[in-house]
Structure 1
Amino acid sequence: MTDITTPPDPTQNASLRELGSELMRDHLARKLDGYALYLYGVVLKRLELLGEAAEVLVEAAHKEPMHWGSWLELATLITDRTKLNSLVLPDHWMKHFFLGHAFLEQQLNDDALDIYFALQQQGFEKSTYLIAQTAIAFHNRRDVDTAITTFRRLQKCDPFRLDNLDTYSNLLYVRELRVELARLAHEACEIDKYRVETCCVVGNYYSLRSEHQKAVLYFQRALKLNPQYLSAWTLMGHEFMEMKNTNAAIQSYRQAIEVNRRDYRAWYGLGQTYEILKMFFYCLYYYKQAQQLRPNDSRMLIALGETYEKLDKIQDALKCYYKARSVGDIEGTALLRLAKLYDKLNEFSHAAAAFTEYVTNNEPHADKNEISQAYKYLANFFVKRNQVDEAYQYAQKCLEFEETKEEGKALLKAIAQKRSQQEEGEMQVEDSVSVIRVRPRLAEGTPNNQFTPMNLSFTT
């Protein structure tokens, strides 16, 4: 049986409720300073009195604006931009750090970067916190190379800093930079092997080596150090998925959502898990949650579209694929899905248009099997329409791939036959025209006055 560390339910903690009652009495008597208000806000949040917690934490920020803990706890209670704009915050420079952090949590990465760049120009250019936050913003925007470069700069500024190294290790994992990830894991262990970030980095290292059991062990170690550590819950869910342990994966993702309901990766992971279990209505719900958190992420839209297809909701699937294409197709699959769906619907012209755009936009970095099949489809499409020049162009492309080389040769033979037939037809037309021009006009009513359809086209 898989051991998963599950934090206790704080709402069932009698001591916490008693502490909340005491703080409430002192709050009503106006006896709480900024730090005590922060404590009261945290207690209310743990008791799931979220509205009251937000009000108290705003009050704490007014009384003690330099206490960053109040701002951080407040940020976890902001569900959207409307809620953020409704807060009456103190007119203090710390507010800008809070807004940048809140925008980042809301996946409003461009707004966050604007604030962070402005702060760097106002005297905080050497702040390692701001460098790390900009790296995270680039990570959220899927600008992996810029994010890695920023983290490397951060390490040069402060080689002993462990904060946010879990995010850095995720980026190295995505790029499969094994040597650099191994070095990072070794350095983190030398600095402090009992930090949650260190456990996460080492877990990612073992995951990249496909040693999933060891990876899970390190993520569990991180959770023993801090049961509220979001990254470990999500990454452990991914590992259980790799190990095909869907029950443990679901439990891990659910715990991640309990820690932070804005973690789109956990919602997306739940969607993938239920998709494997073929429970498509559950799958649809979780993908929708992920898409709401990342409205401009084409991966969420593609996942939604595929689920709608499986539920036979074709129009909804088409809408998802079109939107994925319009927001910027990260993985280059939206057009491919559109083309295949149109082909399934027997809308061949639309399918060909989508395939044409797909091969034009994705040729350098597309999956070889997918792009070769796209070329084959287009070659066949134009052969059937007797557009031999276009068909020849795509059939030649088929020869570049092992998967379609033989079919490409067969298509070229068929194209050559069609081309020769067309040339023969053109010659016959020319001969008919010349006969019409030189033959004397016959008397009406004679047997020779029976025009063929080909002749009729030239007597208008």
Structure 2
Amino acid sequence: MGSLSPAQIAQLKAQLQDAVVCCTERGLYQASKWAAELLNSFPESDHDDSLTDVDSPMSEAPPHTPNAVPKDATEARLEARETHKYLLAKTFFDCREYDRCAAVFLPNIAPKGPLQGSSPPSAKSKGKGKGKAAEGTPLKPSASLRAVQELSQRSLFLALYAKYLAGERRVNEDSELLLGPKDGGVVNKELQGISAILEEWFSSVPESGRQPQGWLEYLYGIVLAKGKNEKLAQDYFIRSVHLCAYNWSAWQELGSLIGTVDELHEIAPRLPQNLMSFIFNINASQELYHVDEQVEENLLRALELFPKSSFLASQRALLLYHAKDYDSAEKVFSDILVADPHRLDHLDSYSNILYVMGVDHSPKLAFLAQLAINTDKFRPETCVVVGNYYSMKSEHEKAVMYFRRALVLDRSFLSAWTLMGHEFVEMKNTNAAIESYRRAVDVNRKDYRAWYGLGITYELLEMHSYALFYHQRATALRPFDPKMWMAVGQCFSKVGKITNSIRAYKRALHAGCYYDGGTGLSFGSQDMSALGGGVLDPEVLYQLALLYERLHDLHECSHYMELVLAQEETPEYDEAEPEDRRGGVGVTATTTKARLWLARWEFMRARYERAMELANELCQDGQEVEDAKALIRDIRARTERGKHDEMESE
């Protein structure tokens, strides 16, 4: 995406403005808000240019473009004829009286039955099966089709979308208690009727000659996705974004169906080549935890065009968060908060960052919680922020209470399910933790934290084969996260697959270097220095050493024990710098255990001088002192005995 000319920028503004109006007319308020925020994030100079001269051609709104919603003469006539009814239905919709809204245009058409599965309209449906509705439809198919054909696409979408929202609200009401017996097992009974009506409409489109606008395709995609027909849903979402590119809700639904980076690359040629596809690629890569130079470059280019966009800035913060650059991510979120203190979007992710950064940032987290409560205490993001605050204070019961509140407000709020699972793990309530993580995976199968949480929970239950399966799912989503590979290595070790465990721990070392700026390498112990100038994880090296010991390969084990000691202090540092800036991990419990093992190893090999040196270092470290002193006595006894034997031989 290169730089845009003034005419292109003016056209883009017109398209975004059109998207705000069209999304608002159809009750897609989140998409409307997104487009409006993007519309107001251009540089100030662009706004000023259009106001300098009222006679300037830049001050005139350009005509509708192919990316705007196309309106043929039939649609314009139908919309004009039903204006009064539309206004009535829209007021009902805005007052959240969804059934009344739908009844304005579709009285008693949509049946209320469980979704059995949806299928695309086919050639056969145009014949004897044309317009066939589900069981329980009170009107005949011909009457249903006739009523649908007499509506404009705008009114039909509003009515069916209201039916869908009414069904979703009843799902929440019927689910009753969170994590109760009915939670998660209730379906939207309106989906079958909505699907039947849309299939009728799509079947009649070729005969009627009406031009699709993309909104009904978007709604049908939602219905298909709810019915687990994800492949066909993806096709309809792609069709929708081609017809109406600036409906951000359609892009989000499409992104939710993409599970891997490979799938994202496969779908890219099928998307329209415009600004929205460019932004979608950035957002989808972020949600897949895919951070590379190309994504970062694309994001910077988008920020050049929309420098005041809070959405794009939050994407940058989330990419930094996924790359474990917590300080930079926190700085970006802080800047967003200063610019827009009442913006609650992604505030839960900001609180996660502050939580991960530790207790030193608890005052910031407390301030963030207070700010969110003062803005809107009944937003899921607010409840998650407050829950994180109580979790940092180790008040896990209160944290669970706030995460539950977030899920009562929105049962599909992913981070609340995952974080509540973490709290249940802390409270040793493994059954509730497993159920929370499973619900998180149901909401979004790309959430590696939920898969990892399931693995940890099954490890607590000593069910290591189950834990291994879930940890492997997490590593598939986060292949460059060393913590994921360490968990896989530990599970392989528990089930007795030592070779596989060694491979996993070496992948953990490689993954750690990915974040530290290291380069690729072969994985022999003699090549560990090629990992770069950064510090390796001593715990991973120590576990590798123990695994080689279990294989009775003591020489390879000693190599890794030496590498553990080498991480105490990196060789390249300036003596003038303070110790906390010289690199290395210093003396830790892990390095102490490695030093003790090496001291005993050297003693066994009769290398008493080296063993004595290591044992004296243990005494200086103040850890394992008693074992070190006992080893020193053994070394002295052995050396004195050796001297005595030499004297007798002389």
Determine if the TM-score, normalized by the shorter chain, exceeds 0.5: yes
1:351-375 deviation digits (Å, cap 9, x = unpaired): 1111111221255437832221111
1:14 is paired with a residue whose SS is: coil
Q: What code does the residue aligned with 2:549 have?
A: D
CA contact (8 A) 1:169 1:181 kept: yes
User: Aligned to 2:333, which of 127, 151, 159?
Assistant: 151
What letter matches 1:409 in structure 2?
K
Distance 1:136 1:428 in 2: 74
Distance 2:620 2:379 in 1: 51
Q: Pick from 369, 372, 375: which aligns with 1:191?
A: 375
Q: Deviations over 1:216-236 (max 9, x none)?
A: 110010001111000000001
Counterpart of 1:145 in 2: which secondary structure? Answer: helix
Counterpart position of 2:617: 397
Q: Corresponding residue for 1:44?
A: 224
Q: 1:361 to 1:25 in 2, by over 3 A?
A: farther
Q: Compute the displacement of 1:421 (Å).
A: 7.3
Query: Which position in structure 1 is the counterpart of 2:156?
Result: none
Change (3 A) 1:64 1:358: same
1:315 to 499, 502, 514: 499
2:256 is equivalent to residue 76 of structure 1: yes
Please name the residue that 1:339 is paired with: 545
Equivalences, count: 427
Give the corresponding residue for 1:443: none
Cα distance in 1, alignment partners of residues 342 and 642 from structure 2 = 74
1:332–1:97 CA distance, 2 compared to 1 (3 A): farther
Q: What's the counterpart of residue 467 of structure 2?
A: 283
CA-CA distance at 1:137 after TM superposition: 1.0
User: Match of 1:451?
Assistant: none
Give the counterpart of 2:478 among 282, 294, 308. 294
Whole-angstrom distance in 2 between the partners of 1:366 and 1:212: 33
CA deviation after TM superposition for structure 1 residue 45, in Å: 1.0
1:96: which partner in 2? Answer: 278
State the partner residue of 1:326. 510
| Counterpart residue number, 2:420 | 236
Higher relative contact order (CA 8 A, sep 6+): 2
Q: Distance in 2 between matches of 1:369 and 1:346?
A: 24
Equivalence for 1:253: 437
Matches of 1:223 and 1:244, distance apart in 2: 21
Q: Distance in 2 between matches of 1:249 and 1:72?
A: 28
* Match status 1:353 vs 2:559: yes
CA distance 1:237–1:352, change in 2 (3 Å): same
| 3-state secondary structure, aligned to 1:142 | coil
Number of the residue aligned with 2:246: 66
Summarize deviations over 1:236-279 as a string: whole Å, max 9, x none.
Answer: 11111111111111110110000001111111111111111112
| Alpha-carbon spacing, 1:290–1:211, altered in 2? closer, same or farther (3 Å) | same
- In 2, the alpha carbon distance for the partners of 1:426 and 1:160 equals 84
Q: Which residue matches 1:115?
A: 298
Greater Cα offset, 253-262 or 354-363: 354-363
Paired residue for 2:17? none
Q: Is the 8 A contact 2:558 2:598 kept in 1?
A: yes
TM (norm. structure 2) is 0.62
Distance change in 2, residues 1:291/1:362 (3 Å): farther
Aligned 8 A contact 2:425 2:433 in 1: yes
Residues 185, 198 of structure 1: 8 Å contact kept: yes
2:565–2:595 CA contact under 8 A, matched in 1: yes
Q: Distance in 1 between matches of 2:228 and 2:568?
A: 48
Q: Could you tell me the percent identity over the aligned residues? A: 37
What is the root-mean-square deviation in Å for CA atoms of aligned residues?
Answer: 2.5
1:40-73 Cα shifts (integer Å, max 9, x gaps): 2112111111011101111111111111111111
Cα distance change of structure 1 residues 367 and 235 upon mapping to structure 2, 3 Å threshold: farther
5+ unaligned residues in a row in structure 1: which ranges?
433-460
